Amino acid sequence: MKTLDDLLGEGVSGRRVLVRADLNVPFDKNEPGRISDDGRIRAVLPTLIALRDAGARVIVCSHLGRPKGAPDPKFTLAPVATRLGELLGGPAVFASDTVGPSASQAAAALGDGQVLLLENLRFNAGETSKDDAERGAFADELAALAEFYVDDAFGAVHRKHASVYDVPARLPHYAGGLVIKEVEVLRRVTESPEQPYVVVLGGSKVSDKLAVIKALLPKVDKLLVGGGMCFTFLKAQGHEVGKSLLEEEMIGTCADLLAQAAGRIVLPVDVVAATAFAADAEHSTVAASAIPADRLGLDIGPESVALFADTIGSAKTVFWNGPMGVFELAPFAAGTRGVAEAITKIDGFSVVGGGDSAAAVRTLGIDESAFGHISTGGGASLEYLEGKTLPGLAALES
């Protein structure tokens, strides 16, 4: 795999370099347009600064959220361009489209050492299309903007998307420093995790991550499941989950996984159940087996935190992805805080992965240096640990 250092060694002054970054940052739920955690922007800065300082004309592209293949102002990268400019100490030009006239004019007008951010890749149906030709056509347009391609979007390397998988087939391609660093750490955890090895899963991307559990089960000693993930399992155990996040079509899969796991999947015993998805909603702690029909579980309860902390405490390797609750709303942050704090105390190696999980660590004020590694990718690191070939890494290697 060629790296950014190889590209810098070849000389990039005056050359247009397309950098795929993962700038999928969280926004403040109460203040639209305010980035609540800029960790993913900071994580790619060394790559952008190295290219800029070498005189490259830097064209950055990223997705934000999951728009449906067409422009949607809710998911514009404009606020990210502003923050990127602040962090770079000089403006980042923003193109109001990804491969249209604004992007191509801005790319053509870029001076040496200037940085351009394209609008959200996922405003284009070709980016995420399952159809190779449709993805390829979009990749052709993206590739036409530049002479070289650098992938530093670790959080998206598990996606077979045009900007991750098809563009590197069209341009000389290099792995950025963030991708290299992330892979180095995760390779260590994958190849020889010291036992006991505990994986903690939560968050809201339920169906994505349920698929990973099957592959991870044989590799881990215990899998602790909280967050939005746990309700499909609780339902599979025969409990009612009220209005909680539920993936109906995965209930059978969860039942199979529980049977296969023979006690190694640990579920919450209590949850904080609220009348609505809101900070001021009436809420109380209830047994996980007795969630009222008109309530939704928004956090794991204190007994579950104690149960999870006990298992985490004896682990030598912990991988955690996905908040234990809706930590962005203060009444539902205690589960995530409790689990995060337990992980910081282990006598072993810990990895936290995921945009929101990493953001939770920082916004809850937990000591970042107490973790072995904080990864910018949740799904990406999980699939790496699973031993899967990740499309973005395979494309960089070929």
Ligand X SMILES: Nc1ncnc2c1ncn2[C@@H]1O[C@H](COP(=O)(O)OP(=O)(O)O)[C@@H](O)[C@H]1O
Q: Toward ligand X15, which CB reaches closer, 159 or 373?
A: 159
Q: Which of the following is catalytic: 205, 222, 295, 337? A: 205
Q: Tell me the residue type at 332.
A: F
Q: Toward ligand X15, which CB reaches closer, 205 or 295?
A: 205
Q: Toward ligand X15, which CB reaches closer, 34 or 66?
A: 66
298 binds, among ligand X15, ligand X, none (CB under 5 to 8 A by kind): ligand X
Q: How far is the CB of 250 from ligand X15 (least distance, A)?
A: 17
Is residue 167 a contact partner of residue 19, using CB atoms and an 8 Å limit?
Answer: no
Q: Tell me the residue type at 370.
A: A
Segment 322 to 361, residues that bind ligand X15, using CB under 6 A? 354-356
Residue 379 catalytic? yes
288 binds, among ligand X15, ligand X, none (CB under 5 to 8 A by kind): none
Q: Is the peptide bond before 196 cis (omega within 30 degrees of 0)?
A: yes
Segment 326 to 355, residues that bind ligand X, using CB under 6 A? 326, 328, 354-355
> Please, where are the H alpha helices in 77-176?
78-88, 101-109, 125-128, 132-143
Q: Which of the following is catalytic: 301, 372, 379, 392? A: 379
209 annotated to bind ligand: yes
Instruction: List phi, psi (to 5°) of 284.
Output: -155, 165
Is residue 134 a contact partner of residue 375, using CB atoms and an 8 Å limit?
Answer: no
H/E stretch holding 273: strand 270-274
357 binds ligand X (CB under 6 A): yes
65 annotated to bind ligand: yes
Q: How far is the CB of 43 from ligand X15 (least distance, A)?
A: 12
159 annotated to bind ligand: yes
Residue 40 catalytic? yes
Look at strands 296-300 and 148-151 and give their pairing: unpaired
Q: Measured between alpha carbons, how far is 267 from 229 in angstroms, rounded to an integer?
A: 10
57 annotated to bind ligand: no
Among 66, 68, 187, 345, binds ligand X15 (CB under 6 A): 66
323 binds, among ligand X15, ligand X, none (CB under 5 to 8 A by kind): ligand X
Binding track over 172-211 against ligand X15, x by CB under 6 A: ---------------------------------x------
Instruction: List phi, psi (to 5°) of 195.
Output: -90, 155
The secondary structure of 9-47 as a DSSP string is HH--TT-EEEEE------B-SSSTT-BS--HHHHHHHHH
Cβ neighbour number for residue 188 with a 10 Å cutoff: 15
Q: What letter would DSSP give residue 339?
A: H
Return the structure tokens found at 173. Answer: 């391609």
3-state secondary structure of 151: strand
Give the residue among 259, 198, 267 at the shortest CA–CA distance from 232.
267
Q: How far is the CB of 319 from ligand X15 (least distance, A)?
A: 13
15 annotated to bind ligand: no
191 Rama class: left (phi>0) / alpha (psi -120 to 50) / beta: alpha
3-state secondary structure of 375: strand
Q: How far is the CB of 164 from ligand X15 (least distance, A)?
A: 9
Binding track over 139-168 against ligand X15, x by CB under 6 A: ----------------xx--x---------
Give the chain's length.
Answer: 398
Among 39, 193, 228, 391, binds ligand X (CB under 6 A): 228
Chain position carrying tokens 């247009």 = 16
H/E stretch holding 201: strand 197-201
The edge-to-edge listing of strands for the beta sheet with 373-375 is: 265-266, 222-225, 197-201, 317-321, 349-353, 373-375
Q: Which of the following is catalytic: 176, 355, 372, 378? A: 355
Bridge partners (DSSP) of residue 310 are none
Instruction: List phi, psi (to 5°) of 344.
Output: -65, -20
Q: Toward ligand X15, which CB reaches closer, 155 or 348?
A: 155
243 annotated to bind ligand: no
39 binds ligand X (CB under 6 A): no
Among 12, 19, 22, 114, binds ligand X15 (CB under 6 A): 22
Contacts to ligand X15 by CB under 6 A: 22, 24, 66, 155-156, 159, 205, 354-356, 377-379
Contacts to ligand X by CB under 6 A: 202-205, 227-228, 245, 297-298, 321-323, 325-326, 328, 354-357, 378
> Which residue ranges make up the annotated binding site for ATP?
209, 297, 328, 354-357
> Which residue ranges make up the annotated binding site for substrate?
22-24, 40, 63-66, 122, 159
> Which residue ranges make up the annotated binding site?
22-24, 40, 63-66, 122, 159, 209, 297, 328, 354-357
Give the residue numbers marked as catalytic: 40, 205, 355, 379
